[in-house]
Amino acid sequence: MSGEIRFFELNTGAKFPSVGLGTWQSDPGLVGEAVVIAIKVGYRHIDCAQVYGNEKEIGIVLKKMFEDGVVKREDLWITSKLWCTDHAPEDVPEALNRTLQDLQLDYLDLYLIHWPVRMKKGSVGFRPENLTQPDIPGTWRAMEALYDSGKARAIGVSNFSTKKLEDLLEIARVPPAVNQVECHPSWDQRKLHAFCKSREVHLSGYSPLGSPGTTWLKSDVLKHPILNMVAEKLGKTPAQVALRWGLQMGHSVLPKSTHESRIKENFDVFGWSIPEDLFAKFSEIEQARLLRGSSFVHETFGPYRTVEEMWDGEI
């Protein structure tokens, strides 16, 4: 599969930019500059979340870039996410309003339920006693109301297994447009990918480089021999090959960086492609999920007793 692959079409008809800047674990003081660099390089998709704690800084930068005429609001795709403490239907619109206020925007292009997990309102951190029983249908109805209002031009989910997505599609009036999940050559989500495609839900891949900057994860995704062999043959970096693999697989990618050189490198994934014979080699890569969501699993509190339950066996 060659071609530019600059956009994917969502079930709303919207054109979703295929490469977005991830902002998870981007430190305050650095994230604003990263957004400025990314937009100037050509990124048109910024992936945010309330829980990342940096939406205010991103909002200040976006406002200035709009005012300076660097980019128009309608040319940017801004995603954010509903945190686990705001799942009660009455809290959903308030959470979106807070995010819009912080980002200094009138609407989001996409609003996602961050995890299929609910925590007590106002709780901070990941203490197990804060875990409660989610009511995804109730939360989703509140999301649908935001879609109806135009404040969220598309709605979706994140970290949903095939089963959880299937259950949601059964009851949804407005089907989710996107399921944002971990996806990279060492966790290619083939089963979920096929299901999403069959139901016209776009799969968007976070940690597309395997989260090399996450200190508490042992990630060697970019060191994999197959990835490095392909990179060498094509004269590209392993990161560029991992991202281009994602686009050719049919999903968008959300690489995170605050370094100018890497932000540029991660966007240089157009105008070339991985040939079929090399692309086929990726299926030989051993699969392992990196982000297991263990903080949401407990023997007493919350709905999930094991990591297997959390992901419905997709681990």
Q: What residues are annotated to the active site?
A: 52
- Separation of alpha carbons 155 and 308, rounded Å: 26
What is the Cα–Cα distance from 6 to 197, expressed in whole angstroms? 18
Helix orientation angle between 91-103 and 136-149, rounded to the nearest 10 degrees: 50
**Sign of the C-alpha dihedral, residues 127, 132, 134, 138?**
negative
Given CA atoms 203, 209, 212, 218 in this order, what sign does their dihedral have?
positive
Residues in the chain, overall count: 315
CA 107 to chain centre: 18
Query: Radius of gyration over alpha carbons of the chain, in Å?
Result: 19
Q: What are phi and psi of 59, to 5 degrees?
A: -60, -40
